[in-house]
Amino acid sequence: MFFRSAGHDLVWIDWDQVYIVYQPSSAETHVFNEVTALILRSLEVGPLSSEEVSEKIEVALGVERGVLVADDLAFATMRLEELGLIERLDSACAAQ
Amino acid sequence: MKPEESLDVTRESDGLSPTADEADISGGVAAPENKRRRLVRSAAALAPLVLTLRSGGVAAASCTGARLVRVGDDGKFSDAYHQTNDVCIVDTPAPVCENHPTTDGFTKVRTEPASFAPVVEDGQGYRCNTNIDLNNKIVAILSSTSATSLLT
C-alpha cells in the first residue's frame, strides 16, 4: 500500500506537540498529534509505502522499529485519505 | 476514535539530585544533554491522533471527507473501508461539494443540511438502515469518526 500527499495547503499551529491544522479546501480544523504530523510530512517528499512511513516515523521519534502498531497507522491513513489530505496509490503508480 | 497520546517521562541521571527510582540512561550523550528530559514512548503513546473540530457556522459551510458507494438494486453495497457506526447520508443525489468526485471512492460532501441513517451489515454487504429507496443510487458514507465529530 502506497500513499502520497494530496498537495493541499494547510495552516499549522504547533501547540506543544499537538497540532491545530486548518484545511482551507474544506474549511475544517483538525487536531493532530506528532505521529499524525509525521505521517503527513513524510509524504510531502514523495510516495511511500506503509512500511516506509512507519520506518520514517519511528526514526524521527527515536523509537525501536516495529513499535508503531500497523492497525494504528492504517486507521490514520484511512482517516487522512477520507479528509482528502493524502491519496492512496497502487504499486504501479507509486513506481512511476 | 483513537485515544490521545500519553507519554512516559524518564529523567536522565544528571548527578545533581539522584534518587533511587530515577532511570539511568546510558549512551553517548554529550554532558549538557544529560540534564535534558528524554521521552520514553510506549506503543500506546504512538497512536496517531486525528480529530476534526466542528463549530456551528463553519459546519454549515464546510465540506468533509466521505466515500461514495454504489447501492445495488437489492439495497446493498460493498465497502472495503467499513467501520462500526458508519453513517449514510440518505440524500440523493449525494451532496458532493463542488469540484469533487461524484463517482465511487473518496470525495467531499456537505453535511448540512443532510439526513443520516446508520450503516448496518446485511449478509455479505451493507445497507443504509432507512425506508428511503436508495437502490441503484450513489450514496455518501461518513466514517464513524467523521460522524462523531459532527456532534461536537
Is residue A74 within 8 Å of A39, Cβ to Cβ?
A: no
Question: Which residues are registered as beta bridge partners of B116?
Answer: B89
Lowest mean pLDDT across A67-71, B72-76, B144-148: B144-148
Q: CB of B64 within 8 Å of any CB in chain A?
A: yes
What H or E segment, with its residue span, contains residue B28? none
Handedness of CA A29, A32, A36, A42 (dihedral sign): positive
Which of A27, A73, A75 is the closest to B62 by Cβ?
A: A27
Which of the two residues, B11 and B79, has the higher pLDDT score? B79
Is residue B62 within 8 Å of B125, Cβ to Cβ?
A: no
pLDDT for position A15: 86
How close does chain B come to A94, measured CA to CA in Å? 19
- Residue B140: list chain A partners with CB under 8 A: none
Is pLDDT at B37 greater than 50 in this prediction?
A: no
pLDDT for position B137: 95
For residue B105, which phi and psi values (nearest 5 degrees)? 125, -170
B146 falls in which pLDDT band (50, 70, 90)? confident
CA distance B135 to A43: 38
pLDDT for position B14: 39
As a whole-number percent, the residues of chain A with pLDDT over 70 amount to 94
Q: Residue with C-alpha cell 468526485? A: B101
B140 falls in which pLDDT band (50, 70, 90)? very high
Q: What digits encode the pLDDT tens for the residues A7-43? A: 878 999 998 889 999 988 878 889 999 999 999 999 9
The residues near A61 (Cβ < 8 Å, ≥ 6 apart) are A34, A35, A38, B41, B46
Note which residues in 20-49 of chain B have CB less than 8 A from chain A: 41, 43, 46-49
pLDDT for position B44: 63
Residue closest to B116 by CA, chosen among B93, B136, B86, B145: B86
Cβ of A81 and B49 within 8 Å? Answer: no
As a whole-number percent, the residues of chain B with pLDDT over 90 amount to 33
pLDDT for position B42: 60
Is pLDDT at A58 greater than 70 in this prediction?
A: yes
Is pLDDT at B5 greater than 50 in this prediction?
A: no
Maximum distance among all Cα pairs of chain A, rounded to whole angstroms: 39
The SS3 of residue A9 is: coil
Cis peptide preceding B48, ω within 30 of 0: no
| Average pLDDT, integer, range A46-60 | 93
Is residue A68 within 8 Å of A57, Cβ to Cβ?
A: yes
pLDDT for position B70: 96
pLDDT for position A59: 92
Which letter, b or e, does each residue of A27-62 get, where b requires 16 or more Cβ atoms within 10 Å of its Cβ?
Answer: ebbbbbbbbbbbbbebbeeebbeeeebbbbbbeebe
How close does chain A come to B42, measured CA to CA in Å? 8
Q: Report ipTM for this prediction.
A: 0.86
In B, minimum Cα distance to A70 occurs at B47
CA distance B2 to A72: 8
Which of A28, A63, A80 is the closest to B41 by Cβ?
A: A63
Cβ of A69 and B47 within 8 Å? Answer: yes
Which of A25, A63, A80 is the closest to B46 by Cβ?
A: A63
